[in-house]
Amino acid sequence: MRNPARFPLKEGLHSRQAHADLPELAIYEREVGREGFFGPASHLHHKHPPTAWVEWEGDLRPRAMDLNQLTPLASARSPFCAPVILHNAHCQYRFWHCDEAMTALVRNADGDDLLFVHKGHGDFFCDYGHFAVTEGDYIVIPRSTMWRLSPRSPMQLLMIEATEDSYQLPEKGMVGQHAVFDPAMLEHPHINETFLAQQDENSWCVDVKRHQRLSRITYPFNPLDAQGWHGDLTVMKINWRDIRPLMSHRYHLPPSAHTTFVARRFVVCTFVPRPIESDPGALKVPFYHSNDDFDEVLFYHAGDFFSRDNIDAGMVTFHPAGFTHGPHPKAFAAGQAHAKTFTDEVAVMLDTRDALHITAAAESVENPQYVYSWRG
């Protein structure tokens, strides 16, 4: 979208620049922006918090789901049996409990998969070989790759499908390709002894998902029987602990600065522990914003989630486009007082350009009072 204004316009009481040195009589800054923090934007200064609503009616609302409360039916040896929490035409968002070794291979012909290991550890086998996976790992699985998971301890995994699409690394611009994480940190599977030892002549099935429907192919041997490979297409993994976030002591960076993977219609970002802005005038918590071109989903993995109250690991918040959202009152007050100097949180954010639909599985573990959690 082209901005018709050729320079920033100004009106009334305002700061000289965004997210810093806010006026004392209007400390509640709200960013109204387009194109996910990359398009035209204005910053409005309010005398009341823009999230201080007292009543809410209708389906459009901020939501919080506790995925820890999903019923045992959510446990399955196949990821395709895991409940879908949110979805649109370009994305499926699942939460999978995998407690036992998969007895069949799977292949997603609908698009790339991104797994995030929330709990547990195990062995991952695929067309390209084997590697061990553990808590905090991202695993990028190219479309139509055959794979299976063999847990060594009960595992919980977030799954994000890029439907009819692929995952890429983000363009890092003037900070260079080695910023956030060096691509050298990406690991690939190996044709190692563990992989060769699992090859056998027993009957194996492959469950293939295409057009969100399953078909089954049976082989009289294990089709993960590669003896070697070469090329530049493979499964990759990286742990959140290998991410070195961009930081600014004088300016609160937008979520887009924490982008880890991109697809054509959505992005995945990772929030990891970092120093909080130290400049006296800099905003020290996420700013209130109306980002009306994207839906925002946050999965809370570990730590103390400094912008949210009563949110624990294993929970998901969903803020669809159409209203302002931002920090809870206690978090905003703590930011004003500079009560903390370091964040202690790990969270996975999904921002989708297309509206997400919530499922019955998600609604079954929703906290209906979350919409009122911004009350002072």
DSSP 332: H
Residue 295 annotated as lining a ligand binding site: yes
Active site residue 252: yes
Residue 289 annotated as lining a ligand binding site: yes
From the list 252, 301, 319, 328, the catalytic residue is 252
Which residues are catalytically annotated? 252
Binding site: which residues?
289, 295, 325
Binding site for Fe cation: which residues?
289, 295, 325
Binding site for homogentisate: which residues?
325
